[in-house]
Amino acid sequence: MTAVGRVPAYRELVLEPALTRRLFDGALAMIVAALGVAEIWLPLPSVMGSGSKVASTLVVVLVCVVLAFRRRWPLPVACIVLFTWPVVFTIEPLLVLFWGQFAPMAVAVFSVARHGRGREPAYGAVAGVTTLLFFDLNVEVLQDAGEIFFHWMVFTIAWSFGWGLHVMERRAKDSLQRAIDVEVTSAERTMAALVEERTRIARELHDVVAHSVSVMVVQAGAAEQVVNEDPEFVRAALHTIRTTGAGALSEMRHVVAMLRENDETGELTPQPGIASLSGLVADARVGGLDVSLVVEGDSRPLPVGLDLAAYRIVQEALTNVRRHAEATSAAVVLRYGENDVELEVRDDGNGVPSGSSPVVGHGLIGMRERATLYGGRLETVSGNGFMVRAVLPLAPA
């Protein structure tokens, strides 16, 4: 048993199981060979017919040695085990054996059906039928009706059992492969959504920081023009530069942590914030959804980036309500805490969005990324509707 969280080594996954299978096959071949030789020389009651004990022993040892490779080369092994006896029988009479002859044949028929690739199981079945027909037509002691029924029944059961295991293993492998494909596809889509959302967030934060730097440049230029004529204006400009710069540095900490591709940022437009939630709620009502907005606590200005993140979380949550929830009403709650801001969007729809999963939905991924970016958290609750709750901490002054 491997330790939890540890990736099994190549030896554990491949080498050791393969070695175990080879040891098992070798042991099986030795056991059958020992039984066959003992059957000849004791002799056991299962021996029938007349023939050379030495030649029979050599054939038993030969087919059992070959049987040790039944997994690696199932069809060649089956052909050797099945056809050796008929070929030798046509040259020199041999003993008719159960353990030394019939048992290895049954194992070979089972093995070619179980481990054969492509059409090998069918070819193995044909080889088995050919061998049985030879014995039925040429070996007198095996032409009794009971003997014929017995060895045909055993061969049929051995091949069918091997083929059944072969089909089950193939279906299990196909099912595992499909599960792996689904898992890989889901992971790829999730990563693509993360990259896309982080790129979008980085672009928006870029716009916020660019605006702050522009304000600083304008204020510094104006102060430079009147540095000797209006000290009060210069003092006010320096204060604006300081506060704006502090805010820009705070946003830059987030920007540096993001990986973004160089693309067109588009036209610089004012970014929305919590002050725009009333307009967002009004837009959501246009489609017939009854949306309410409740503000709790003492409202106060938020950092620009955090303000934008809060707005985007509510916007995406309402978008999910309209697209997936089949809801008739929704409530948006904004709570100002002492050290954080809490956003809550609840609807009366069908809970988990139909036809999608909250684990892989791009909307929830984007909301969670925005909350995490500012050290917050995002929670979802399904049941009697669907609720999204985001808690965004406020940076200390």
In tens, the pLDDT along 158-191 reads 999 999 999 998 898 888 888 888 888 888 888 8
Find where tokens 């697209």 sit: 323
Give the pLDDT confidence score for residue 10 in this predicted structure: 44
Binning pLDDT at 50, 70 and 90, where does residue 241 land?
Answer: confident
- Cβ atoms of 330 and 284 within 8 Å: the answer is yes
Q: Is the pLDDT of residue 397 over 70?
A: no
- The DSSP string of 346-393 is EE-S-SSPTTS-TTT-HHHHHHHHHHHHTT-EEEEEESSSEEEEEEEE
Give the pLDDT confidence score for residue 4 in this predicted structure: 42
- Cβ atoms of 63 and 96 within 8 Å: the answer is no
Determine if residue 351 is left, alpha or beta; phi over 0 gives left, psi from -120 to 50 gives alpha, anything else beta: left
Q: Is the pLDDT of residue 254 over 70?
A: no
Strands 377-382, 340-347: pairing kind? unpaired
pLDDT one-digit tens code per residue, 290-322: 889 999 988 888 888 888 889 989 988 888 887
Domains (range + CATH), the chain: 10-143 (no CATH), 187-256 (1.20.5), 274-393 (3.30.565.10)
What is the average pLDDT across 1-27? Answer: 62
Question: Which tokens in the block code for residue 186?
Answer: 């889901």
Find where tokens 């159960």 sit: 98
Q: Is the pLDDT of residue 80 over 90?
A: yes
Q: Is the pLDDT of residue 102 over 80?
A: yes
Pick from 194, 335, 307, 313: nearest CA to 251: 307
Strands 340-347, 386-393: pairing kind? antiparallel
Percent above pLDDT 70 for the chain: 82
Give the pLDDT confidence score for residue 252 in this predicted structure: 65
